[in-house]
Amino acid sequence: MIYLFVRQVGLFVLQLVVEYQNKIHGKADTAVDNLKSWDGEWFLGIASGGYNDVPQRLTDAAGRRSAETPLAFFPGYPALIRWVDGLPGVDAVGAAFAVSLISGLFCAYGLFVLGRAVRDGSTKTGLIFVTLFAASPMAVVLSMTYSEATFCAFAAWALVGVVKKRWILAGVCCAAAGLVRPTAAALIAAVGLAALVAVIADRRDWRAWAGGLIAPLGLLGYLGWVAIRTGDLAGWFGVQQRGWGSKFDGGGATLEFAFEHLGNPRSELETGTVWLLVLAVVLVVYAFQRRLEWPLIVYGIGVLVMDIGSNGLMNSKARLLLPAFTLLLPLALVLARRKTSTVLTVLGLAILFSAWFGANALAVWQYAI
């Protein structure tokens, strides 16, 4: 219920902002139009027609389109949309929103379980953790036809499996996440290293062996399939670089972006994105200080490194931070020890900021996120 409430606040504010933008610009957009925009249209196109029959009007960041362009998008989320779309009376758009909603609920419950299972965790920690996640600055994408909600659901349960040493659960959820987003590389590192430590401690632990071996299969499977389709071993990475200018540069482009927009702020979204990246780095340090379980730190650092280290679309970096939800756990642990009034004040402010930031990113910001 907490997750649904927070997301509903975000959608309500989005509706208000969309209506205001329509009034001052003479447009006729709806909240739904915004919630299925940008990458959302790609996922809907792949769900409806497969990789070979995506609408031709969809292009890459440079306005180009080739047979390989749709391969930039992973198949897990579109596949789930297609399965739900097969139900009587359900269209692709409704199916996509349903998959995102259900994924978000599964993720929320996984985070609640994780908040109780970690060192010094409790029911209160779990509830606060869910609220912080649902009120992340770019949590609006959890309500969009984007794949973040589905990925985060699999990632949350994979990490529950790691913390509880349920290795088959961890491996299977990690493999599933690998079919949804490339961010699964960070999850594979966390699950794989944790399973390796378990195997070193007890070589007869066949579940740890199995979990560690299963974990990378989804990501490797899709990257391998794209390699075959393109005739290039690094096929998916080539598609990303040619279509979206995205490659790992060690953070050089991000650093340049940060200095540029802190020195000469031009928009709330860009400046806010820089400060969110800084905050994420601070949260990593705090996670070490709070002695958060090391696989959760490994995962959070992995997501952050992939985000900061890429020279892709800078406007997407706030969104790409969303899967690094483990970095919010130390905050949840601290808040759980505070007075109820303090907790409600902090969470209330977070919910309002998230609602405004997400609505601004969708309805006001004119570029892709």
pLDDT digits (tens, 9 = 90+) for 228-248: 999 999 999 999 999 888 888
For residue 105, give Cα distances in angstroms to 33, 98, 123: 23, 11, 17
Asked whether residue 62 is domain-assigned, the answer is yes
The model's pTM: 0.96
Q: What is the mean pLDDT of residues 14-28?
A: 91
Residue 14: inside a domain: yes
Q: What is the pLDDT of residues 112-157, one digit of tens each?
A: 999 999 999 999 999 999 999 999 999 999 999 999 999 999 999 9
Which of the four pLDDT bands, split at 50, 70 and 90, describes residue 262?
confident
- Say which DSSP state 248 is in: B
Question: What distance in Å separates the CA atoms of residue 36 and residue 310, rounded to the nearest whole number?
Answer: 25
Fill in the DSSP letter of residue 275: H
What is the DSSP annotation of 155-167? HHHHHHHHHTT-H
- Residue 369: inside a domain: no
Rg of the chain, C-alpha, whole Å: 20
Whether 312 is in a domain gets the answer yes
In a domain, 324, yes or no: yes
Domain annotation covers residue 333:
yes
- pLDDT class for 312, splitting at 50, 70, 90? confident
pLDDT-derived band at 365, boundaries 50, 70, 90: confident
Cβ contacts of 220 within 8 Å, gap of 6 or more: 178
Asked if residue 115 lies in contact with residue 329, where contact means CB atoms within 8 angstroms, the answer is yes
User: Is the Cβ–Cβ distance between 151 and 192 less than 8 Å?
Assistant: no
Structural domain total, the chain: 1
Boundaries of domain holding 247:
2-364
Give the span between the Cα atoms of 46 and 75, in whole angstroms: 8
- Total Cβ atoms within 10 A of residue 74: 27
Q: Is residue 28 part of a domain?
A: yes
- Whether the CB-CB separation of 222 and 215 falls below 8 Å is answered with no
Question: Cα separation of 268 and 271, whole Å?
Answer: 5
Hey, which residues does 310 pair with through a beta bridge? Answer: 248
Average pLDDT in the 287-292 region? 94
Q: Is residue 138 part of a domain?
A: yes
What are 304's two structure tokens? Answer: 């952050």
pLDDT tops 90 at residue 314: no
Query: Tell me, what's the pLDDT at 260?
Result: 87
Dihedrals phi, psi of 248, to nearest 5 degrees: -85, 115
Reported as half-sphere exposure (CB side, CA atoms, 13 A), residue 217 has a value of 12
Provide the 3-class DSSP secondary structure of residue 175. Answer: helix
